């Protein structure tokens, strides 16, 4: 008996879609995706993550500018998944309970994880329905501006964006490295020479065409690593300070 099913095959065929057809997602399908988000696992049952559905064209354009990706403004559905400890703090206040722990780092990271899980669940469901998706970590290029645009209150924070729509392109399946470099048994495995371990993967990556520049093959993975890690956006490097300004209690060694 085959262990493969349609959902797993969709997951194995996952690819990022950046161009969508000019076609809206039916509301019943959107509601189903939101129901999938609602049923996603959540730390301690606290449900401390939320979604901003962006429908306003001007707001989409502002987010696209932050992402430095103009196609973001054209996504039929644009969702921003957020940390949301504001709601639970307000519930505690209305119950006359203590709120001092609502913004601690434990609550921040549990809510951050909740938001990531919810986004991934929505992606799996969307692709199972024949939709395409694109994750937008680029919303963190200016997290403070995203907070301002979306009017995020204290104890909330943007985690990841997600564009959803009917695919308007059919990109190649992007190569991935061998999982022996990413799955270890009982303890972390350190390899003596990583370039030697990924030499076949480097060569495979050179055969891949990214549709953002469809006329040029991409660099090897090792060259991409060097290039990416040379880059640094000051506002992304300031993210922890934005987290603090959003009201979270970011303690470091020596803090009382």
Round to whole Å and give the CA distance between 157 and 140. 10
pTM: 0.94
* pLDDT one-digit tens code per residue, 143-191: 999 999 999 999 999 999 999 999 999 999 999 999 999 999 999 999 9
Separation of alpha carbons 54 and 66, rounded Å: 14
Q: From edge to edge, which strands make up the β-sheet containing 77-84?
A: 49-54, 77-84, 156-165, 132-136
Closest by alpha carbon to 164, among 50, 80, 220, 65?
A: 80
pLDDT reading at 209 higher than 90: no
Residue 104 structure tokens: 């601690």
Taken in order of first residue, the domains within the chain and their CATH numbers are 6-171 (3.40.109.10), 179-230 (no CATH)
**Distance separating alpha carbons of residues 99 and 37, to the nearest angstrom:** 27
Closest Cα to residue 194, out of 207, 210, 178, 208?
A: 178
Question: Tokens 């729509």 label which residue?
Answer: 165
Q: What is the pLDDT of residues 100-149, one digit of tens each?
A: 999 999 999 999 999 999 999 999 999 999 999 999 999 999 999 999 99
| Confidence grade of residue 241 (pLDDT, cut at 50, 70, 90) | very high
Q: Contact at 8 Å (CB) between 131 and 77?
A: no
Residue-wise pLDDT for 52-83, tens only, equals 999 999 999 999 999 999 999 999 999 999 99
Who has greater pLDDT, 208 or 33? Answer: 33
Contact 78, 63 (CB under 8 A): yes
Query: What pLDDT band is residue 218 in, cutting at 50, 70 and 90?
Result: confident
- How far is the C-alpha of 88 from the C-alpha of 110, rounded, in Å? 13
Residue with tokens 């959003």: 246
Alpha helix stretches (DSSP H) within the chain: 6-12, 27-38, 57-67, 86-94, 105-128, 143-149, 194-197, 199-205, 221-230, 234-237, 239-245
């Amino acid at each position: 008996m085959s262990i493969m099913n349609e959902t797993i095959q969709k997951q194995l065929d996952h690819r990022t879609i950046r161009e969508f057809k000019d076609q809206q997602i039916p509301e019943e399908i959107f509601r189903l995706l939101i129901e999938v988000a609602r049923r996603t696992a959540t730390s301690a049952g606290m449900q401390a993550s939320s979604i901003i559905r962006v429908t306003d064209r001007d707001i989409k354009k502002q987010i696209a500018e932050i992402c430095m990706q103009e196609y973001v403004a054209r996504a039929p559905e644009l969702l921003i998944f957020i940390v949301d400890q504001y709601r639970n703090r307000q519930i505690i206040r209305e119950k006359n309970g203590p709120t001092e722990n609502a913004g601690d780092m434990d609550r921040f990271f549990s809510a951050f994880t909740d938001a990531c899980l919810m986004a991934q669940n929505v992606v799996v469901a969307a692709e199972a329905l024949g939709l395409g998706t694109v994750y937008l970590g680029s919303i963190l290029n200016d997290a403070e501006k995203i907070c301002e645009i979306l009017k995020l209150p204290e104890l909330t924070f943007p985690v990841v964006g997600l564009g959803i729509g009917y695919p308007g392109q059919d990109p190649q399946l992007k190569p991935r490295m061998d999982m022996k470099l990413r799955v270890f048994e009982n303890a972390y495995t350190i390899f003596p020479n990583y370039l030697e371990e990924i030499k076949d993967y480097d060569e495979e990556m050179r055969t891949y065409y990214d549709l953002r520049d469809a006329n040029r093959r991409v660099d090897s993975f090792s060259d991409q690593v060097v290039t990416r890690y040379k880059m640094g956006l000051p506002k992304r490097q300031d993210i922890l300070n934005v987290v603090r300004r959003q009201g979270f209690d970011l303690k470091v060694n020596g803090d009382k």
